[in-house]
Amino acid sequence: MTTMEITPLNLSRKKDDFVVCKQRYFLEKGKQSIICFVEGKYDSDYYYDKFRNQLGEDFVIIPCQRKKNVLKAYDCFYENDHQRVKMGFFVDRDFDPQVGNPNIFETDRYAIENYYCSEQVLERILRYAFKVDDEDTINSAKVYFHEQFLQFHSIVEEFNAFYSLIKQKEKTNNACYNVCLDTRFPENLADVEINKFDKRYNLQILLEKYSLDESLISQKELDDEVTRLNTVSPFYAFRGKYEIEFMYKILFKLVNDANSKKVTDCIIKQKVSANLNNKSFMSDYSQYADIATGLKEYLQILAS
C-alpha cells in the first residue's frame, strides 16, 4: 500500500492542488490498485487500517487536500473510468448538506476526528493502550471524561451552532462569508483547558469577529441550532478538530497525573507507559477509534 501525500515540495504555489490529485490518479490508474481519494493526509491515519482489513494490501490512498477536491475527483474520473478502475471516495459530513451519493462514502459524524471521541474509545485506550484493568479506575475515568466534556461542550456549543448556520446560509444565499477556522478553538473566545473553562463570546462578538452583518443570524436561530446539534449529540455533531483536541487533553491529564509523584488524587493508580503526541495521535490510536457507520459495507462493495 502506498500513501501519496501532497506537500509543498510537490505542489507549486501557483498550481491548483487538484492538479496534483489528478496527476497522482493518472499515474496510478493503470496499476490495478484500488484508488481511495480522501480529503487530507490525516484522513489516512484513520482510514489506513480499515482499508487494509477490507481491501488487503492492494490499494493506494490519494489525499486531495480538501473535501471539494474529492468531490471534483469523483466528477472527473468516476463516470469514465469506474468500470476499468476500482475507486473509492471518502468525505466528512461537516456542516454541509448530505452528498447523497452511494458511490461516495460520507461520515455519519461531523468528521473522522469525532470517531476518536467517545466513552467507548476512552475505555479501549485505557484497557489496551494504557493497560488499565481495574474496573473502578475505568469507571472513574468515564465519569471524569463526561464531566470535562460536559463543560467543554457548554463553552463551544454556540460557536458550533454559529458555524453550522453560516454554512447553511452560504448555501441558501449562494454566498461565501469567509469564516475560516483553525484546528484549535479560537483562544480569544474562550479558555477550554481541563478544569479551566471561560466563555468570552456571544453572537454579536462572533458576527463582529468575522465581519458579518448583524442581521445575518438571529439569537433565536442560534438557540434553535444549539438545541438541534445537542439533540444529535455533541460528540457526533460538533466540529471534530475541537473534539479530538479536547479528547487528547483528557488523556494527557490522566497519564500525566498517573505518572506524577506530586499528584495524590489521580484517577489511574498505576504508572502508564503511553506514547501521547498530539501531532501523531490519530495514527497512533486509530485502532481504538469507532468505526464509521456504513464504512465496512462500502469497502466490501469496493473490494468486490
Ordered per-residue pLDDT tens for the chain, 304 residues: 444 444 444 434 445 788 888 888 888 887 878 999 999 989 999 999 999 999 999 999 999 999 999 999 999 999 999 999 999 999 999 999 999 999 999 999 999 999 999 999 999 999 999 999 999 999 999 999 999 999 999 999 999 999 999 999 999 999 999 999 999 999 999 999 999 999 999 999 999 999 999 999 999 999 999 999 999 999 999 999 999 999 999 999 999 999 998 888 899 999 999 989 999 999 999 999 999 999 999 999 999 9
Sign of torsion over alpha carbons 143, 148, 152, 154: positive
Which phi and psi (to 5°) does residue 198 adopt?
Answer: -150, 115
The helix (H) or strand (E) run that includes residue 87 is strand 87-91
pTM for the structure as a whole: 0.91
Sheet strands side by side (includes 59-63): 2-3, 59-63, 34-38, 87-91, 104-106
> CA 197, CA 181: separation in Å to the nearest integer?
20
C-beta atoms surrounding 198 within 10 Å: 10
E strand or H helix at 209: helix 203-209
Q: How many CB atoms lie within 10 A of CB 257?
A: 16
Cell of 237: 455533531
Element (H, E) at 46: helix 43-55
Q: Can you give the residue ranges of every domain in the chain?
A: 2-91, 115-288
- In 3D, which of 11, 74, 5 has the Cα closest to residue 42? 5
Q: How far apart are CA 65 and CA 26, in angstroms?
A: 17
Any idea which residue has 474562550 for its cell?
A: 190
**Which residues touch 246 (CB under 8 Å, ≥6 apart)?**
117, 148, 149, 152, 192
User: How far is it, in rounded angstroms, from Cα 161 to Cα 122?
Assistant: 26
